[in-house]
Structure 1
Amino acid sequence: MHNETLHSDDTGSVQSLFTPPRVDTSRHAAGTLLDKYGRKITYIRLSITDRCDFRCFYCMSEDMTFLPRSEVLSLEECLQIVRIFADLGVYKVRITGGEPLVRKDATWLLRQINQVPGIRELVLTTNGSQLERFAPELQDAGVKRINVSLDTLDPLRFHEITRTGDIAKVLRGIDAALAAGISRVKLNTVMMRGVNDHEFPNLVRYAMERGIDISFIEEMPLGDIGHGRSGTYFSTDEALALLGQHFALEASTESSGGPARYWRIPGSDTRVGFISPHSHNFCDTCNRVRITAKGELYPCLGHNDAVQLLPLLRANPDTQQPITDAIMSAMGIKPKAHDFTAQMEAPQVVRFMSMTGG
């Protein structure tokens, strides 16, 4: 049995926070991390800030209250978490936010992570607002892949979705990343009926012109703003049918190590991916966990159960074993699957996406 306490998060929602027991680590072979269903965890998504310079309406409220600095992982603590996970066999790290590049010295952390033994893939997810400034530093720090959120090419619609963003700045940032030599740049587009679905072909053409990939993501009902999203939900199958009117899409077995399933366009280097948490559940192959900027380890995006790593890090500055034990115990609360479809009208996960990490 685990010890369970209840905690109210910043949205007023009650979450289960687990105090991990002492664990028998013998079921984990050296350098591996398994959940109770035998899935091997090789990928972490680490949020280094809950702050963002955009206010995308599907991600956060317009008037956000952000965490005080004392409740946020320091960059050194972020690095320690990566080192511990690397010792457990994790080799892919995605740095997220909020917007990670608004965190002071974020490129220092990226450079350090790239030097951690065992880490083979270092990826950044960004809204693109800071790319024009930081692209050369990111390439120099060892970032090989960047995902840029881009839901529209229309300046007015972009400002409506982000509430504050300037699309020209983001587009310059994408070009700056390519000019800096980032080997793989990908666009992430959240599909929203009546908002941007008519733009999907043009977004694919934009990606093709630059030889970059694009992934279309089914909208997820997270946060107080998640209520009633069935009206804007647009499925992968619908998107494939729509894009099939414009492109000869061919199914591919390629993988980037995440949940996207890819299609190829003959004669183009662009891959078109789909992330389908509703219509094509990918939980049976889930290889990842998320750590929030607050140091909460969420084994599943679609559930509220979490383990707090930050207090353990600060209480044990000279040993990593308690944190290792906590991570292993957290695998016991990783569920077999999520069910976002059942949550479309009444989300059970009411923390904002910006709080968990994009």
Structure 2
Amino acid sequence: MPQLVDQYQRKFEYLRLSITDVCNFKCTYCLPDGYHRQHKKAFLTLPEIRHLVAGFATMGTQKVRITGGEPSLRRDLCDILETVKTTPGIAKVAMTTNGYRMARDVADWRRSGLDAINVSMDSLDAKMFHQITGENLLHKVMSGIDAAFDAGFEQVKVNTVLMKGLNSHELGAFLAWIKPRNIQLRFIELMQTGDNPALFHAHHVSGATIMAQLLEQGWIEKVRQPTDGPARVFCHPDYQGEIGLIMPYESHFCDSCNRLRVSALGRLHLCLFGEQGSELRPLLQHSHQQPELQQALLTALATKGPSHHLAQGDVGGTQHLASVGG
């Protein structure tokens, strides 16, 4: 069976699958005006997801991350998790959530096959959290993180977009928070999209400055594993938690790319900051279409470039991060 390897010898063992572009938060860097549906199409169905993941798995994909929008807004989320987890070849199922429904549902997600969970949380201060997300729900997200540990997750990853003039001063507070907790705190550089250039230029903080501070304080970079995401992960002997840095503006960031994206409408995206993508949905209606699906993936992958062009201000077709699943 052919494998998902591009012309630069990058192997794609990691699928980021969006199951909805709907979100109930209004984060300043993603959906500052809230979600507005711009299409009338239904999102991928459970059978379509089953055929899609099976096609990727037969070509070497081992890890699937469920994304959105906010994936917990799908009523059939547990069925989706179980379907992905039981697909032959899939070793790990992860999910990224805003934490809104974690306290209530995370135990069910765990029982349905979820192996790893990432929570988006941009501040430890309730007022700043409200300012960034548009929702006064920090307490609910924090309760959800506690519930995840109670449900059996050994580690929880927390995604934080550091922004100058907003939450960048909280680095010390975040480090203190993870010292006694097995949390991998992932600082993500603010990324420019089609609808946020002013915000980007006003608030962008380079991850390199954070990395320099960590190295000065004795943090050590860990060895990257084949199915890891884009974060460079650091550990410290005095901390139970870890730090991950996602720095898309770093030179050679794309050299280790190992992930492909499929939108909630069934479009394959070779890059978060690529163009509009390749339509896969017509090939997801029947299991006998697997050869056609696999050929479509190979054909598309042959066109994948060596890197994005964020440093040049080219954001491709990405209007906002929720449209492709972040």
What's the TM-score bracket when you normalise by the shorter of the two chains? over 0.9
Structural mapping, 1:1-358, within 5 Å: 30-66=1-37, 70-227=41-198, 229-243=200-214, 247-255=217-225, 257-314=228-285, 318-343=288-313, 347-358=315-326
Give the TM-score, by structure 2 length: 0.94
Letter of the 2:66 partner, please give it: I
Distance 1:165 1:334, change over 3 A: farther
Amino acid at match of 2:15: I
Output the CA distance in 2 between the equivalents of 1:165 and 1:180: 25
Relative distance call for 1:220 and 1:234 in structure 2 (3 A) is: same
Any stretches of 5+ residues in structure 2 without a counterpart? none
Residues 327-347 of structure 1: per-residue CA shift (max 9 Å, x gap): 11110221110121221xx74
Please state how far the C-alpha of 1:136 moved relative to its aligned partner: 0.8
Structure 1 residue 312: Cα displacement: 3.0
Letter in 2 for 1:337: S
Separation (CA, whole Å) in 1 of partners of 2:204 and 2:252: 15
- List gaps (5 residues or longer) in structure 1: 1-29
Secondary structure of the 2:289 match is coil
**Contact preservation (8 Å) 2:261, 2:272:** yes
RMSD between aligned alpha carbons? 1.9
One-letter identity of the residue aligned with 1:190: V
SS at match of 2:30: coil
Amino acid in the other structure paired with 2:59? L
Letter in 2 for 1:342: Q
* Equivalent position SS for 2:205: coil
Cα displacement (A) at 1:318: 4.2
Deviation per residue, 1:44-85 (Å, 9 max, x gap): 100000011111111124143225563321122122111110
Across the two proteins, how many residue pairs are aligned to each other?
325
SS at 1:38's partner residue? coil
Query: 2:118 & 2:105 partners in 1: Cα distance?
Result: 14
Letter paired with 1:323: L
Q: 1:51 to 1:115 in 2, by over 3 A?
A: same
8 Å CA contact retained: 1:58, 1:226: no
